Amino acid sequence: MPIRVAIAEDNALLRDGLARLISSTKGLELTGTSG
C-alpha cells in the first residue's frame, strides 16, 4: 500500500518539482497539488 501525499506550495517551480519526484518514487502516490 503506497503512502499518499498531497502538496500545498505557493511556488510553482517547487510544487512541480516535488510532484515529479513523488510521482517517480516507488511507494509514494501523489493525490493532489494546490497553490
pLDDT in tens, 3-34: 999 999 999 999 999 999 999 999 999 999 99
Sequence spans of domains, the chain: 3-34
The residue written with cell numbers 502516490 in the block is 29
Stated pTM of the model: 0.84
What is the β-pairing status of strands 28-34 and 3-8? parallel
To the nearest 10°, the Cα dihedral for 11, 30, 22, 9?
10
Residue type, 32: G
Q: From CA 26, how far away is CA 12, in angstroms rounded?
A: 23
Q: What is the pLDDT of residue 23?
A: 97
Q: From CA 19, how far away is CA 7, in angstroms rounded?
A: 7
Angle, vertex CA 29, rays to CA 3 and CA 8, nearest 5: 95
